[in-house]
Structure 1
Amino acid sequence: MTASGGLVVVGASAAGVAAAEGLRHGGYDGPLTLVGGEPHLPYDRPPLSKQLLSGVWERERLRLRAPETYSDLGIELRLGVRATELDMAARRVRLADGTELTYSNLVLATGARARMLPGAQGLTGVYTLRTVEDALALRTALAARPHLLIVGGGFVGAEAAAVARGLGCEVTLVTDQQVPLADAVGAEVGTMLAEVHRERGVRIVTGSPVKEVIAEDGRAVGVLLADGRVLRAQAVLVGIGARPDTDWLTGSGLSLHHGIVCDSLLRAGDAVWAAGDVASWPDPVTGERLRIEHRTNASEQGMTVARNVLAGPSATAFQTVPYVWSDQYDLKIQIYGGTRGADAVHIVEGSLKQRAFTAVYVRDGYVTAALGVGMIRQLRALRRLLTTRTPWDQARTSLPVTA
Structure 2
Amino acid sequence: MAGHVVIVGAGMAGLRAAEQLRAAGWDRAVTVVGAEKHLPYNRPPLSKELLAGRTGAGGVAEAHAAAAFRRRKSVADVAWRLGVPAVQASLSAKTLKLADGTRLAYDGLVVASGLRPRRAPIPGPQAGRYVLRTLDDAVALRDLLVPGRSVLIMGGGFIGCEVAATARRAGCEVTVVEPCAEPMERALGPELGRVLRRHHEDQGVRFVTGRLVSEFLGEDDRVSAAILDDGTLVPADLVIESTGSRANVEWLEGNGLDLHDGVLCDNSLRVEGLPGVVAVGDVARFPNPRFDDVPRRVEHWCIPADTAKRAAATLAADLGVQPHDEALFAPAPFAPVPSFWSDQYDVRVQSFGAPALGERCELLDGGLDHPRALNGGVAMAYYRDRQMVGVVLVGMPAARHRHYRDLVANAPAPA
- Give the TM-score normalised by structure 2: 0.89
Identity of aligned residues (%): 40
1:96-135 aligned within 5 A: 96-119=99-122, 123-135=126-138
Instruction: Please report how far the alpha carbon of residue 262 of structure 1 lies from its aligned counterpart in structure 2 after TM superposition.
Output: 0.4
Indicate the residue corresponding to 1:55 in structure 2.
Answer: 53
Of residues 299-308 and 27-36 in structure 1, the stretch that sits farther from structure 2 once superposed is 299-308
Q: How far 1:153 sits from its partner (Å)?
A: 0.9
Q: Is the 8 A contact 2:154 2:242 kept in 1?
A: yes
The CA deviation at 1:201 is 0.3
Mark the CA change 1:127 to 1:379 in structure 2 (over 3 Å): closer, same or farther: same
Matched residue type, 2:404: L
The reply to whether residue 302 of structure 1 matches residue 317 of structure 2 is no
Shift of 1:121: 9.8
| CA deviation after TM superposition for structure 1 residue 304, in Å | 1.7
CA displacement 1:293-322 (0-9 Å, x = unmatched):
111111211122112222349454422000
Q: Give ranges in structure 2 of 5+ residues lacking alignment.
A: 57-62, 321-328
Offset of 1:5 from its aligned partner?
5.6
Number of matched pairs: 387
Q: Per the alignment, in what secondary structure is the counterpart of residue 157 of structure 1?
A: helix
5 Å-filtered alignment, 1:2-401, equals 6-58=4-56, 59=63, 60-65=65-70, 69=72, 73-119=76-122, 123-143=126-146, 145-268=148-271, 269-285=274-290, 286-312=292-318, 314-316=329-331, 317-353=333-369, 354=372, 355=374, 356-375=377-396, 376-390=398-412
**1:230 positional shift:** 2.0
Deviates more, 1:105-114 or 1:220-229: 220-229
Give the deviation of 1:282 after TM superposition: 1.0
Q: 2: CA distance between counterparts of 1:121 and 1:386?
A: 46
Aligned partner of residue 161 in structure 1, secondary structure: helix
Structure 2 CA distance for partners of 1:72 and 1:184, relative to 1, 3 Å: closer
**Contact 2:11 / 2:39 at 8 angstroms: preserved in 1?**
no
Deviations 1:112-153 (A, max 9, x none): 010111147982211111111111111111136411110001
User: Secondary structure at the residue paired with 1:142?
Assistant: coil
Could you tell me how far 1:70 is from its partner in structure 2?
7.0
TM-score, with structure 1 as normaliser: 0.91
SS at match of 1:362: strand
Q: How far 1:378 sits from its partner (Å)?
A: 2.3
Deviation of 1:72 after TM superposition, in Å, equals 5.7
**SS state at 2:378 partner:** strand
Q: What's the CA shift for 1:329?
A: 0.6
Cα contact 1:149–1:237 (8 A) shared by 2: yes
Where does structure 1 lack aligned partners over 5 or more consecutive residues? 393-403
Root mean square deviation, CA, Å: 2.1
The 8 Å contact of residues 153 and 180 in structure 1, kept in 2 or not, is answered as: yes
Cα deviation, 1:16-42, whole Å, max 9, x if unaligned, reads 100101112322111110110000111
- Return the offset for 1:284: 1.9
Q: CA separation of 1:121/1:21 partners in 2, compared to 1, >3 Å: closer, same or farther?
A: farther
CA distance in 1, matches of 2:182, 2:242: 16
**Aligned letter for 1:200?**
Q
Distance 2:36 2:334 in 1: 28
SS at match of 2:144: helix
**Residues 156-203 of structure 1: CA deviation (Å, up to 9, x unaligned):** 010001011111111001111111111111111000000001110001
